Amino acid sequence: MRIIVAGGDGFCGWPTALYLSKQGHDVAIIDSMVRRKIDEELRSNSITPIASLAERTAKWKELTGKEIRIYMGDLQHFDFLKLVMEQEMPEAFVHFAEQRSAPYSMIDREHAVYTQVNNVVGTLNVLYAIKEIVPDCHLIKLGTMGEYGTPNIPIEEGYLEVEHKGRKDRLPFPKQPGSYYHLSKVHDSHNIMFACRMWGIRATDLNQGVVYGLSTDETDMDPVLANRLDYDGVFGTALNRFIIQSAIGHDLTVYGKGGQTRGFLHIQDTVRCIEIAAENPADPGEFRVFNQFTELFSVLDLAKMVLKVAQEEGLDTKISNLENPRIEKEEHFFEAVNTNLLDLGLQPQLLTDDVIRNILKTVLLHKDRVIKENVLPNVKWK
């Protein structure tokens, strides 16, 4: 089918675009390159060298004969988006094009406002473009498990059966987001649900857990196709950050008690989940929610797993606890349902020592690129 991947230069978007192209879909990428500009702002970088998007897509065509078209622009600009939609007439729109870092959104007022405007207005523009140009297009939107927070009840997939004063209803699951970034995702979900109800748009909200890993079969085909890997205190997720800290001889820095538990999944499962959603679209008017994760781990669990592999590889490292820069429960109940994608055929790639070891070996090849002053957190929620 014809698929647009918005944010197709990013950590999740790039391997997704390659995977969908390899599977035979006709893929186009929209990207504003803002993530690369943020690296410059933060004086940070990907530990893996990444080629330009033009070089990446040219290499892909050289290797596979498949073209991935590029549209450089911002979803904030509706006229640009409308022209792309009219030219491509997509059957599915995969939306990764949002500011994705909780710490970035909490730097200050300016970054909070940027995150909310960029994410919420961009998604609103996509909804209107679908309504006006391709009303049968399936919106596949990357949400986050962080929308739910850490409630003291099991988290359902988007909805909750409620009985109140003798009456029953199926309502959106309560949201308790922990940052202005997560709040923007909540606003997105509400706007998409409204558009589905009002206009008959079909949409799948993928409430994704924390993604770990680096490469897929497609990004491994050539160094030019390599995916980015973030390690800093703003964009680096816990597992990848721990692996990189072990590679440079830094303590594995656990925030607070380390009992913060979240859903996790491998980047290979991310791209597969997008394919599953695209090939099994929501019905017109349906706002469907999938909890997109495969396993649950606490932060301390991850640190211990990395420590074990690092020591087996002869690295001298240890775990240390930092004062938590975030406002969050450090020990809590966490149970979540994730059956929808499994029922549609997802076969999870589980987190094993070998997975960690393979990432670590790649990191060791590029550890000279680590800017050490970026490894520790410098953004506080208060």
Catalytic residues: 144, 181, 185
* Separation in Å, CA 140 to CA 22, 203, 281: 19, 6, 9
d(CA 118, CA 184): 9
d(CA 286, CA 253): 42
d(CA 139, CA 201): 8
Residues sharing a CB contact under 8 Å with residue 299, sequence separation 6 or more, in sequence order: 238, 254, 255, 258, 259, 260, 261
d(CA 266, CA 269): 5
Instruction: Determine whether 332 is exposed, middle or buried from the number of CB atoms within 10 Å of its CB (0-12, 13-18, 19+).
Output: middle
Q: Is the dihedral of CA 341, 344, 349, 350 positive or negative?
A: positive
Contacts 24+ apart (CB under 8 A), 158-165: 158/205, 158/207, 158/287, 158/288, 158/289, 158/290, 158/291, 159/289
d(CA 219, CA 18): 8
